[in-house]
């Protein structure tokens, strides 16, 4: 009996510590940033590879199927391309994969497209394994974690659909933000992945004479691929810069996995890692690699930082009240759709039929929707939307339509006025 | 559930691990089966995070008796999801990479030299894929030489090629003193040309 009591008192703190490490109830926001960033990188990367589809991955390209046997010896190395026989199948799959990458980036049907993206990415890698390099492995690692994670619950079209659905029932409804202990566990997995990556990258460098001797950066820039005469001139005349850059790289990589976990040192380590990868992007032209690494590092961004950033943005932009016609079905449907993108809940709404505005008269409201600003200004119709899309991050994708010089206003006003005049028939 | 000021943490008990939404009350399970389901799920998730963490640590670990045994266990998982990587970027030493070139000999005996790197753009994302492919071909011409030459025969069909010769341009060490004396890492004195293989193109 005493043993059982001891066991219980001993197990409870352990279980609590375990939950503290892995299963805190947190939002998916940092994972969503990684999802969008990696999705965008994949769309761009594989999209630009489209003209080379059959050259890189086709049977008559650089890696004929007979040669592949030299590289693929493990039955666990699988690719959908192994089962294709006609060129149209490559094209169809590539189009489907690009579609899934775009959907993954936007967070549309995320629960299944994420798996299609992972399978597709691995399939490309194993169809021509000798062409791939470090970043392809990093993408696979991060994608697998994102597949485990409940991503698509925020900053996504899935979230927009959920909010829109609730707002169609009641415009004032706002579904609460998703949080989950499993989201935190997956964030933790991504953090560990990045820490392990940094650690072994540093260890690998410490075993080499070039790095230990402080000359690695010099040899790097004499390489034809990274050659830049101005940089080489600077390094040759100020060779201490080579030593600083070489040892600085190792220092950041070795410090990262140890100091990234502490509350005080995390911002500095994140800034150092960001600086390092911006250097790789600018000086070594490793844009794809640097971008993917930065997206992985986003897992260390605390949700509190993001919510603080959102609150600061909301304060800076000020309150916005949109006044609409509650008797118009089309207006309510449009508002539900529009407000669904307002993730920070910056826009307040008022139905002038039930709650008349002290600033805008009912006669004015019959003609157009109005936006009332804290300084008392009231912007009608097109100008109201034009003002909002620039200030609500979820609506930034509409900025190109509203801010084309001359054309937006030239066509926007008449289009809006026509819709407003005919709204009862829509 | 309690608040943790250090990390704004909400520590959940095993039965509460399911996703919940902000503001909604946490219902303590009233049914035993629900309690069991929660505990089993918590245990399964704990196993998964432990498994995955061990896998990503084992993958890049140096070879040893322990890692060899661990690899036997994790290998299928690591391979299937392409998690296998040593993460040794430009390590242990920075390799001075050779440049790949090839010569197409046409039916009239004229030789046309091509430098594929000239067609690459550092701003194009696939640039490194192409570069890595050439490096691999130069490393193992006996394996990939014929396939690359066959591909190049087709690509340059308009020249009516008779043969393709693959070349490796090796770059020698280039010191800071060389740079300061106005030399260039790609001056002929720092380059050695090596013929990898010559492959006849099939008759048209």
- The nearest alpha carbon in chain B to A196 belongs to B57
Q: 3-state SS of B27-62?
A: CCCCCHHHHHHHHHHHHHHHHHHHHHHHHHHHCCCC
User: What local confidence, expressed as pLDDT, does residue B179 receive?
Assistant: 95
Which residues are bridge partners to B163 per DSSP?
A: B105, B200
Alpha-helical regions (H) of A134-212: 134-148, 157-169, 181-206, 209-212
Indicate if the pLDDT at residue B23 is higher than 70. no
Strands B20-21, B99-106: pairing kind:
unpaired
User: A238 and A217 in contact (C-beta within 8 Å)?
Assistant: no
A105 and A295 in contact (C-beta within 8 Å)? no
Calpha distance A235→B185 (Å, rounded) = 14
Q: Three-state DSSP class for A274?
A: helix
Instruction: Say if residue B24's pLDDT is above 50.
Output: no
Instruction: Give the model's pLDDT for residue B16.
Output: 52
Identify the pLDDT of residue A32.
97
Q: Residues, chain B, total?
A: 204
b/e map A66-87, b = 16+ CB within 10 Å: ebbeebbeeeebbbbbeebeee
Contact yes or no for A181 and B17 at CB 8 A: yes
Residue listed under structure tokens 């394996």: B143
pLDDT value, residue B120: 78
Where helices occur in chain B by DSSP H, the ranges are 32-58, 65-80, 116-119, 127-139, 141-155, 176-180
Q: Which tokens hold the place of B18? A: 């399911």
What residue of A is the nearest CA neighbor of B75?
Answer: A76
Of A44, A188, A204, the CB nearest to B125: A44
Task: Name the residue among A24, A130, A181 with its Cβ closest to that of B133.
Answer: A130
- Nearest Cα of chain B lies from the Cα of A200 at a distance, in angstroms, of 6
Chain A residues close to B19, C-beta within 8 Å? 150, 178-183
- B142 interfaces chain A, CB cutoff of 8 Å: no
CA-to-CA separations, B199 to A39, A305, B99, B142, in angstroms, rounded: 42, 60, 19, 11
Which of A15, A61, A76, A215 to probe by mutation at the B interface, max B CB count within 10 Å? A76
Cα–Cα distance, A131 to B90 (Å, whole number): 17
In percent, the amount of chain B with pLDDT more than 70 equals: 84
What per-residue confidence (pLDDT) applies to A296? Answer: 98
Rounded CA gap, A158 and A108, in Å?
5
Question: Position of tokens 């430098």?
Answer: B115
- Contact (CB<8Å) B117/A216: no
Find the closest chain A residue to B98 by CA distance.
A224
What confidence tier does B122 reach under pLDDT thresholds 50, 70, 90? confident
The SS3 assignment for B119 reads: helix
Q: Are A27 and A183 in contact (CB under 8 A)?
A: yes
The average confidence (pLDDT) of chain B is 84
| Cis-peptide into B28, omega within 30 deg | no
Report the distance separating Cα A88 and Cα A82, nearest Å.
14
User: Which whole number is the average pLDDT over B182-201?
Assistant: 93
In chain A, residues with a C-beta closer than 8 Å to the C-beta of B80 are 76-78
The DSSP 8-state label assigned to residue A405 in this structure reads T
DSSP 3-state of B106: strand
Nearest beta carbon to residue B87 from set A20, A48, A197: A197
The pLDDT assigned to A5 comes to 57
Confidence of residue B19 (pLDDT cuts 50, 70, 90): very low
Q: Which CATH number fits domain A308-425: 3.30.420, 3.40.30, 3.30.70, 3.40.50?
A: 3.40.30
* Across B186-193, average pLDDT: 92
Length of chain A: 426
Place of tokens 């810069």: A241
Task: Give pLDDT, residue B33.
Answer: 85
* Distance from C-alpha of B110 to C-alpha of A42, rounded to nearest angstrom: 42
Portion 143-182 of B in contact with A at CB < 8 A: 143-144, 147-148, 151, 154, 171, 174, 176-177, 179-180
Closest CB to A62 among B13, B75, B148: B148
> Which of B10, B124, B136 is nearest residue A25 as measured by Cβ atoms?
B10
Task: List the 17-76 stretch of B: residues with Cβ below 8 A of A.
Answer: 17-24, 42, 45-46, 48-49, 52-53, 56-57, 60-61, 75-76
Residue ranges per domain, chain B?
3-80, 99-200
Separation between Cα atoms, residue B125 and residue A136, nearest integer Å: 12
What is the predicted pLDDT for the residue at B77?
Answer: 97
β-bridge partners, A358: none
Give me the sign of the Cα torsion angle A178, A35, A307, A297: positive
Whole-number Å distance between alpha carbons of A165 and A149: 24
Measure the CA–CA gap between A129 and A74, rounded to whole angstroms: 13
CB contact under 8 A, A288 and B180: no
Query: Which tokens hold the place of A62?
Result: 């650089």
Q: Which residue of B has its CA nearest to A151?
A: B19
Contact A204 B75 (CB under 8 A): no
Interface touch B96/A122, C-beta < 8 Å:
no
Q: Do A76 and B80 touch (CB under 8 A)?
A: yes
Place of tokens 């009332």: A372
Closest by CA position to B20, among listed A65, A180, A76: A180
DSSP A284-324: H--HHHHHHHHHHHGGGS-HHHHHHHHHHHHHHH--EEEEE
Residue B85 above 60 pLDDT? yes
Please indicate whether, in this complex, the C-beta atoms of B9 and A24 are within 8 angstroms of each other: yes
pLDDT in tens, chain A (426 residues): 555 555 566 788 888 899 999 999 999 999 999 999 999 999 999 999 999 999 999 998 889 998 898 889 899 999 999 999 999 999 999 999 999 999 999 999 999 999 999 999 999 999 999 888 899 999 999 999 999 999 999 999 999 999 999 999 999 898 999 999 999 999 999 999 999 999 999 999 999 999 999 999 999 999 888 888 999 999 999 999 999 999 999 999 999 999 999 999 999 999 999 999 999 999 998 999 999 999 999 999 999 999 999 999 999 999 899 999 999 999 999 999 999 999 999 999 999 999 999 999 988 998 899 999 999 999 999 999 999 999 999 999 999 999 999 888 999 999 999 999 888 777
Cβ of A150 within 8 Å of Cβ of B19? The answer is: yes
Q: Which helix (H) or strand (E) holds B100?
A: strand B99-106
Contact with chain A for residue B112, Cβ under 8 A? no
B171 and B96 Cβ atoms separated by less than 8 Å: yes
A124 is written with which tokens?
A: 């490309």
Identify the closest residue of chain B to A19 by CA–CA distance: B11
The CA distance from A362 to A370, in Å, is: 11
Residue of A13, A14, A16, A23 best to disrupt the B interface, most CBs of B under 10 A: A23
Q: Tell me the two tokens of residue A229.
A: 């005469």
Is the confidence at residue B3, as pLDDT, over 80?
no
The first and second tokens of residue B5, run together, are 């000021």
- Chain A residues touching residue B64 (CB < 8 angstroms): none
Backbone angles phi, psi at B165, to 5 degrees: -110, 125
Specify the pLDDT at position B133: 86
Q: Where do the domains of chain A lie? A: 26-179, 196-301, 308-425
A76 with B75: Cβ contact below 8 A: yes
Q: In what order do the strands lie in the sheet with A26-27?
A: A26-27, A178-180, B20-21
Cβ-count burial A368-395 (b if 16+ within 10 Å, e if not): bbbbbbeeeebbbbbbbbbbbbebbbbb
| A200, A222, A263: residue with CB nearest B174 | A222
């Amino acid at each position: 009996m005493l043993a059982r009591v001891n066991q219980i008192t001993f197990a409870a703190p352990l279980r609590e510590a375990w939950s503290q490490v892995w299963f805190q109830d947190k939002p998916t926001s940092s994972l969503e940033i990684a999802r969008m960033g990696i999705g965008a990188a994949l769309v761009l990367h594989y999209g630009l590879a489209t003209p080379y589809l059959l050259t890189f991955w086709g049977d008559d390209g650089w890696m004929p199927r007979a040669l592949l046997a030299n590289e693929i010896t493990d039955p666990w190395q699988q690719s959908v391309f192994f089962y294709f026989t006609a060129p149209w199948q490559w094209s169809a799959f590539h189009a489907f994969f690009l579609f899934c990458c775009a959907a993954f980036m936007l967070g549309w049907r995320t629960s299944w497209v994420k798996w299609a993206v992972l399978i597709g990415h691995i399939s490309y890698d194993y169809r021509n394994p000798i062409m791939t390099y470090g970043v392809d492995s990093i993408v696979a690692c991060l994608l697998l974690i994102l597949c485990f994670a409940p991503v698509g619950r925020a900053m996504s079209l899935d979230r927009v659909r959920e909010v829109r659905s609730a707002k169609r029932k009641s415009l004032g409804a706002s579904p609460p933000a998703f949080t989950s202990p499993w989201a935190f566990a997956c964030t933790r997995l991504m953090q560990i992945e990045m820490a392990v990556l940094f650690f072994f990258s540093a260890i690998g460098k410490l075993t080499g004479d070039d790095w230990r001797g402080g000359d690695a950066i010099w040899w790097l820039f004499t390489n034809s691929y990274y050659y830049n005469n101005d940089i080489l001139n600077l390094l040759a005349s100020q060779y201490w810069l080579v030593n600083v850059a070489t040892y600085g790289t190792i220092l950041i990589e070795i410090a990262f996995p140890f100091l990234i976990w502490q509350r005080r040192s995390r911002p500095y380590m994140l800034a150092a890692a960001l600086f390092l990868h911006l250097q790789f992007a600018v000086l070594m032209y490793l844009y794809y690699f640097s971008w993917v690494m930065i997206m992985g590092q986003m897992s260390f961004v605390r949700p509190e930082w993001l919510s603080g950033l959102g609150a600061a943005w909301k304060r800076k932009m000020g309150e916005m009240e949109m006044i609409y016609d509650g008797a118009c079905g089309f207006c309510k449907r449009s508002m539900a759709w529009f407000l669904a993108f307002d993730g920070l809940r910056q826009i307040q709404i008022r139905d002038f039929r039930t709650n008349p505005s002290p600033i805008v008269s009912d006669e004015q409201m019959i003609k157009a929707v109005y936006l009332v600003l804290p300084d008392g200004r009231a912007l009608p119709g097109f100008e109201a939307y034009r003002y909002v899309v620039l200030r609500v991050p979820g609506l930034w994708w509409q900025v190109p339509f509203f801010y084309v010089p001359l054309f937006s206003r030239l066509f926007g006003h008449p289009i809006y006025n026509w819709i407003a005049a005919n709204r009862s028939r829509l | 559930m309690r608040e943790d000021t250090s990390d704004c943490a909400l520590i959940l008990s095993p039965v509460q691990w399911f996703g919940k939404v902000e503001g909604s009350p946490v219902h303590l399970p009233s049914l035993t089966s629900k309690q069991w389901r929660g505990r089993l799920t918590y245990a399964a998730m704990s196993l998964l995070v432990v498994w995955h963490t061990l896998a990503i640590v084992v993958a890049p670990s140096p070879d040893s008796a322990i890692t060899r045994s661990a690899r036997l266990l994790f290998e299928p998982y690591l391979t299937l999801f392409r998690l296998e990587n040593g993460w040794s970027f430009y390590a242990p030493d920075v390799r001075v990479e050779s440049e790949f070139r090839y010569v197409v000999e046409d039916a009239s005996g004229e030789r046309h030299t091509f430098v594929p790197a000239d067609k690459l753009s550092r701003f194009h994302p696939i640039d490194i894929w192409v570069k890595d492919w050439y490096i691999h071909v130069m490393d193992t011409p006996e394996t990939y030489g014929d396939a690359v030459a066959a591909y190049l025969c087709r690509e340059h069909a308009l020249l009516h090629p008779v043969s393709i010769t693959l070349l490796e341009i090796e770059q020698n060490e280039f010191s800071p003193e060389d740079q300061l004396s106005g030399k260039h890492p790609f001056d002929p004195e720092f380059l050695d040309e090596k013929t990898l293989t010559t492959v006849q193109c099939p008759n048209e």
